[in-house]
Chain A
Amino acid sequence: MEPSIQAERLPIAAFVPRHPSFLSSGVRSVTIRRRLVSSTRSSRSRNGKSVRFAAKGATLGQTTFWGHFTRSTLQKSRSEAYQVAARGLRMEGVDGHKRWMNTGPRVPPWLDTPAPKDAVREFHKILVIGSGAIRIGQACEFDYSGTQACKALRSLGYEVILVNSNPASIMTDPEIADRTYIEPVTHEVLEMIIERERPDVLLPTMGGQTGLNMAMQLSKMGILDKYHVRLIGANLEAIRKGEDRLAFREAMERIDVDCCPSGIANNMEEARAVAAQIGRFPLIIRPAYTLGGTGGGIAYNREEFEEIAAGGLEASPVSQILVEQSLLGWKEFELEVVRDKKDNVVIICGIENVDPMGIHTGDSFTVAPTMTLTDKEYQRLRDMSISIIREIGVETGGSNIQFAVCPRTSDVIVIEMNPRVSRSSALASKATGYPIAKVAAKLATGLTLPEIKNDITRDTVAAFEPSLDYIVCKFPRFTFEKFPGTTDVLTTQMKSVGEAMSIGRTFKESFQKGLRSLEIGRYGWGLDGKDEAIPPRAELEAALRIPRPNRIFRVRQALRLGMSIEEINELSGYDLWFLYNMKELAEMGEALRSKQSLQQVDSF
């Protein structure tokens, strides 16, 4: 039987096997067990000299190689071999041991940027709050960015302490942080860890919303002050301004950026005043403290407004309604912005949501860069983003800012901003090759954008905005079949459980690749022998109007039924430009279908 080592129960230290004794000579493979590690694997290379250790994460299904070295190394120096396994360095090739022997202690092989000189260092030990549990709305994107950040900080020579409640994540792998605590991310546990570790600073922006909430709570309770822990990456004021609707609105007013106009009314008179102030229909009426929005609705004219507002006031137990301008049918855009301490700001990527306003951006079919914005519109969003990140006061790091743009007037309304690394920044990183989380982490230590090298282009620095020569599509993946009883209508609450991203030289290419990669059994946008029968027109119209997971395939059915793209645009809110492209795809499909043989296609 293979020897097996159980990692010590935390919160003592990371998942590091404590004793090298398991590497007795002649051992061909060693199993290193972690909690929740379901299976392990070992293999021998063809020459029989190389032993590979591997452990497989149970939930994520990702394979992590813990070490790879020759048997001669094993026999030569057990302690050295142990070090490799303990550090978990990624090694490939039979000469792998040479590489790790040449690197100094505690220096990972991805070390690239020279660390700042010790003299200018203000801190040494960084506490990072990790991504936490994977759930709908907060998935492994945060694990990805958190891992990037930890690696970046360690490569600069900082000591990284990681807290994460999720052992089935990459960031809790032993080589990612200097010490990893797998504990619930609550203020009690965080206080214990802070007391024990005495970190100099706390980086809360890598763990999604949980991280920011924790930072707020720790600060309010005086724990940060008590142990002299400073926040880096975001300050409390910025977090508050990003979260608190009223504070955000006030901040936007100061820089002359429009928010969605709205107001609270306690009686009909006030309601009319609010409506008059907003000045245009449709209006959304939301009664306060009612379940599932009962009594609310959308008013398209004055009469409807009177009726719905009166009904809403009655339905609300506190006789209060929120009246806001409806942004239905407006186009939705996101910009990823990064700022450094010297106030340099770069826009990493503009993302266009093909699904219009009303659907959570995580559930939307999105494309990058923006396809239907003119230069002037894009520059306006860009300028606004820069002033927003400055006004909110995100001193260093990335932010995600969401805008609604009216397709008929180019009016712009800012919807929200997240003063942290977000799901979209993970997408933008992969779409552009600009490692936002990595750069943001380095910026948090006080480096500036021109000082950080871009690993992709190699000869430029992080101050260059990426310029793409390809189109990126992102499709959300839903699994409503696993949640019986839930409605599959898409709303402002995120319901997707994953996503597929594709890259192509044209929108059409990227679109088809994305659908194909979704693993929903389709080989693209139809014509794969799996097309469903076209439903009656009325049913199809409803399916185009109400956003559901398969809506994009409905467009093709509608086109085949002979609906015009203007009609489809009216019903679905997809911009005409995307529909033109889909129509061309559909036409090409029909043209191919009419051919009898490949020879005919060749002459096509």
Chain B
Amino acid sequence: MDVIQVDDLVSEDSLAQLGGGVEHHGRGRRARLELADGSVFEGWSFGAARSVAGEVVFQTGMVGYEQTLSDPSYCQQIIVFTYPLVGNYGVPSSTDCDAYGLPLHFESSRVYAAGLVVLSYEDAYSHWLARQSLGDWLEQQHVPGICGIDTRRLTQCIREHGSMLGRIVLEHADSNSVPFVDPNRCNLVAEVSCQRPYVYGPQDARFHVLALDCGLKYNQLRCLAQRQCRITVVPWNEDIHAEQFRECDGLFISNGPGDPTMVPETIRNIREWLARDRPVFGICLGHQLLALAAGAQTYKLKYGNRGHNQPCC
């Protein structure tokens, strides 16, 4: 006699039924997530109704989807949230700004992730600061989402195979219309970096920091400003040894997307800065660039650590 596994009883469809997408979107448009290894996950579309390709990565944070989606580090990546409910508190206003003029609730000016994969998209939100639902925001930002996906199984897949290329394809759309793209082969930093320098923070600050924008998050500027720093933010390929940056007290290299070896000119610039023995620190990609400038090697992890629970002891 066949043994019926509990897993068999909970089919993907019944899981999807649990997701909010069913009810809210009038059992809306179906969509599928295709991975480069051939596996396909069926679900429902929310947000922008378009197909998209990118690198599929998972993120383990339990709050903060609006910050995650607007983080430039996720440029051209399709984010899988391991936390099953996304959208609970809606999306706040993008016009609420801090004392120095940067949006309070987001990490950059737009959504950088290519797509969003969740188990249950919560269209009905509740928060006094919310101005729109997550789906509406994604639609406005032309970013597609897909819900009703068994994200636990998907995450196990990614953990086993490593980060994979994938695409979200709408129902009736031809898969070949969205070829797989490997974001790590292009210079993503150039895509997300600011175009021209700008200044942030109090005028009468104790320190003046030069920030290399490789995909900077607004909160990094805020943290520096809280510590009495005035920050001059410059594009990734700016000549940081120019005359006007002479009086800067130190160099900060931001986080960012993609492979650090794609930006040799930035590495060269940092190497020169290091040679002059001036203060410097980097976060994430900035740290990797710093390592490369110091003569170390970098390699890509099988699957990166994306989430909020990395201990720092």
Contact = CB atoms under 8 A, between A and B. Distances in A.
Given A376-B105, A467-B62, A584-B20, A506 B84 contact: yes
Contacts of A371: 85, 88
A469 interface: yes
Contact of B82 (A373, A464, A469): A469
B311 A509 contact: no
Contact of B83 (A450, A469, A509): A469
A506 B20 CA distance: 9
Interface string A373-395: 11110100000000000000000
Contacts of B62: 369-370, 467-468
B92 A346 contact: no
B308 A577 contact: no
Nearest to B19: A506
Given A372-B89, A375-B66, A465 B308 contact: yes
Interface string B3-39: 0000000000001001110010000000000000000
A215 interface: no
A428 to B, nearest CB: 14
B63 interface: yes
A344 interface: yes
A487 interface: no
Contact of B309 (A342, A464, A580): A464
Nearest to B105: A376
Interface string B102-139: 00010000000000000110101111110000000000
B61 interface: yes
Interface string A459-481: 00101111111110000000000
B79 to A, nearest CB: 14
B211 to A, nearest CB: 22
Given A468-B62, A506-B120, A584-B20, A372 B82 contact: no
B63 A374 contact: yes
B264 interface: no
Contacts of B64: 374-375, 378
B73 interface: no
A463 B309 CA distance: 9
B126 A467 contact: no
Interface string A352-379: 0000000000000000011111111010
Contact of B63 (A342, A378, A464): A378
A207 B105 CA distance: 43
A370 B309 CA distance: 16
B126 A580 contact: yes
Contacts of B85: 371, 471, 506-507
B128 A407 contact: yes
Contacts of A509: 18
Interface string A467-502: 111110000000000000000000000000000000
A576 interface: yes
B6 to A, nearest CB: 13
Interface string A298-318: 000000000000000000000
A506 B127 CA distance: 19
A376 B152 CA distance: 26
Given A373-B89, A466-B309, A410 B128 contact: yes
B151 A469 contact: yes
B67 interface: yes
B197 interface: no
Contacts of B15: 505
A450 B89 contact: no
A57 B124 CA distance: 48
Given A372-B88, A577-B126, A467 B61 contact: yes
A372 B67 CA distance: 16
Nearest to B104: A376
B90 to A, nearest CB: 9
Given A466-B309, A467-B307, A469-B151, A505 B61 contact: no
Given A506-B119, A577-B124, A370 B311 contact: no
A346 B311 contact: yes
Given A467-B60, A505-B15, A577 B66 contact: no
A449 B126 contact: no
Chain A CB within 10 A, most for which of B15, B92, B122: B122
A374 B61 CA distance: 12
Contacts of A187: none
A505 B84 contact: yes
B296 interface: no
A226 interface: no
Contacts of B88: 371-372, 577
Contact of A370 (B63, B82, B128): B63
A448 to B, nearest CB: 8
A467 B82 contact: yes
A548 interface: no
A508 B18 contact: yes
A187 to B, nearest CB: 39
A408 interface: yes
B132 to A, nearest CB: 14
B313 interface: yes
A376 B66 CA distance: 11
A450 B64 CA distance: 26
A587 interface: yes
B23 A587 contact: yes
A575 interface: yes
Interface string A404-425: 0001111000000000000000
B120 A450 contact: no
A508 to B, nearest CB: 6
Nearest to B91: A374
A374 B92 contact: yes
B84 A469 contact: yes
Chain B CB within 10 A, most for which of A465, A469, A576, A588: A469
Contacts of A471: 84-85
A96 to B, nearest CB: 28
Contacts of A342: 313
A325 B93 CA distance: 30
A588 B61 CA distance: 30
A369 B15 CA distance: 20
Nearest to B150: A505
B126 A463 contact: no
B126 A410 contact: no
A384 to B, nearest CB: 16
Contact of B129 (A374, A470, A580, A587): A374
Chain A CB within 10 A, most for which of B18, B60, B61, B311: B311
A231 B92 CA distance: 48
A584 B84 contact: no
A506 B61 contact: no
Contacts of A507: 85
Ranked nearest first, the 8 interchain pairs of A and B with the lowest CB-CB distance are: A375-B64, A580-B124, A463-B311, A576-B126, A577-B126, A465-B309, A467-B60, A469-B82
Given A374-B63, A507-B85, A508-B18, 15 more contacts: A369-B83, A370-B62, A371-B85, A375-B61, A375-B64, A378-B63, A407-B128, A448-B313, A467-B309, A469-B60, A469-B82, A469-B83, A505-B152, A509-B18, A584-B23
28 contacts: A342-B313, A344-B313, A371-B85, A374-B63, A375-B67, A378-B63, A409-B128, A410-B128, A410-B129, A450-B311, A467-B61, A467-B62, A467-B83, A467-B308, A469-B83, A469-B155, A471-B85, A505-B18, A506-B19, A506-B84, A508-B18, A575-B126, A577-B122, A577-B125, A580-B126, A584-B20, A584-B23, A584-B124
